[in-house]
Amino acid sequence: MREIVLDTETTGLDPFQGDRLVEIGCVELLNGFPTGRTFHTYLNPERDMPAAAFAVHGLSGDFLKDKPLFPEVAGEFLEFIADSRLVIHNAQFDIGFLNAELERAGKILIGRERVVDTLLLARRKHPAGPNRLDDLCARYGIDNSRRTKHGALLDAEILAEVYVEMTGARQAQLGLAAQSADARRPGGAARERPERPIALSPRITPQERAAHRAFVLTLGAHAIWRQYIDDLADGEEAAKTAS
């Protein structure tokens, strides 16, 4: 399953009172793990930067004045997120700004049904709080020492780590790996599979089987594929036949 962890930075708190996006950061997750693919852009808000917002993210009007306008990157942004689930901390805030910008650009808005709000998840999982991103980093032992200022891509990367820990995705994957290792180990607990009442006809010829066993025997005494040869003596005989 593909998910996009997303964060934004803005000029203020209300997109309906003239505040604008100034940064978008996205991190791709596939089956609960970061793939390394990201989307990141700064944006020209076409207005001044209030001191309160600058204190949060450190992005000045001078720094942003030569950055692209939202309509110039809207297509690339929408292509990156595609129809994937969006994972956002305090999603109402970010989606409000994104949809305001998308509406100005004449683009389709983001439906709230495709959004996972990690703040709501955290409140259900840890009702006593606190559940700010920094608090969740401390709770799950995630290093956020780089977060001296808010930054959309950095915060998305940190939130991705928090989300994986909070939903148990990493533990689930490790558990599956351990079960697979146990099943491969001699005497391990492998799941029983019912036998077919009538066996399927072989799809390979005896000559092909003999050639395969002969090849496996050339891989060395410790090759893992030797474990799948039912009878090594037969395999050695097969090697002679194939030669």
**Residue 150 among the catalytic residues:** yes
Nearest to 33 by CA among 155, 181, 170, 213: 170
Q: Tokens representing 50?
A: 């209030």
Which amino acid would we find at residue 113? E
Catalytic option among 40, 57, 150, 212: 150
Cβ(232)–Cβ(213) below 8 Å = no
- How far is the CA of 40 from the CAs of 25, 37, 68, 188, in angstroms? 5, 10, 12, 46
First vs last Cα of the chain: how many Å apart? 48
Q: Is 118 exposed, middle or buried (0-12, 13-18, 19+ CB in 10 A)?
A: buried
The residues that are catalytic are 150
